[in-house]
Chain A
């Protein structure tokens, strides 16, 4: 089977740094994605890792360790607008590339 685990809630203050972890178990692995979803909205793509290491996109970075089946999303210089749910998703190897999603981490950024 396939499963992903991420914390259900994280709280931080404006200007801080927060790390959201994701561990996965899959029968095949192609890459790890991160998506952001504001209340009532659609998920939007943040970052993707196919290889080990760090990917940086502005204030957001994502890390992957394939040997540990582990990744994280790092959000720096937190802003109030970063309050949202963050999902990790694994795309499986093979012809279908189905995305399997974690249950999401609700991030609350306080003043």
Chain B
């Protein structure tokens, strides 16, 4: 199993550009989520999904959109990039309800917005 994969690993954007961060998992997990992590900070939840066709907002959803058309994929779209969105983005998945609430994380996407 590949686990949770994310692409790209690194990305540089100009202010105002849009892009999609890809996330896929092959563990048949119902629950998927997107976090951002800024230096010296914990993880902040952007959006999450408890199953295909179901998404909801986390703590910091503004400027981001998600969709969940399949169990495997959960892309994150930046609508109009801003320097404040410079961050490391992690995608995570787990069974829902979870066994021991274990979330499995992808390797992250490092985004720089100029």
A87 touches which of B33, B43, B98, B102 (Cβ 8 Å):
B43
A-B contact count (CB 8 A): 62
Using a Cβ–Cβ cut-off of 8 Å, how many residues does chain A contribute to the interface with B? 24
CB-CB contacts of B12-41 with A at 8 A, as 1s and 0s?
A: 000000000000000000010101000011
Within 8 Å CB of A99, what residues of B? 33, 43, 45, 101, 103
A33 vs B106: C-alpha distance in the bound complex, in angstroms?
A: 18
Within 8 Å CB of A45, what residues of B? 100, 102-104
A75 in contact (CB, < 8 A): no
Q: Which residue of B lies closest to A8 (CB)?
A: B40
A103 touches which of B42, B103, B104, B106 (Cβ 8 Å):
B42
B58 in contact (CB, < 8 A): yes
B75 in contact (CB, < 8 A): no
Instruction: Output the least CB separation between B41 and chain A (Å).
Output: 6
Most chain A beta-carbon neighbours within 10 Å: one of B31, B40, B43: B43
Please report A residues at the B interface, Cβ cutoff 8 Å: 30-31, 33, 35, 41-45, 48, 50, 87, 89, 91, 95-104
Q: Which residue of A lies closest to B48 (CB)?
A: A98
B50 touches which of A89, A91, A95 (Cβ 8 Å):
A95
B105 touches which of A44, A91, A96 (Cβ 8 Å):
A44
Known: A97-B97, A103-B41. A42 touches B106 (CB 8 A): yes
Known: A42-B106, A42-B107, A45-B102. A97 touches B41 (CB 8 A): no
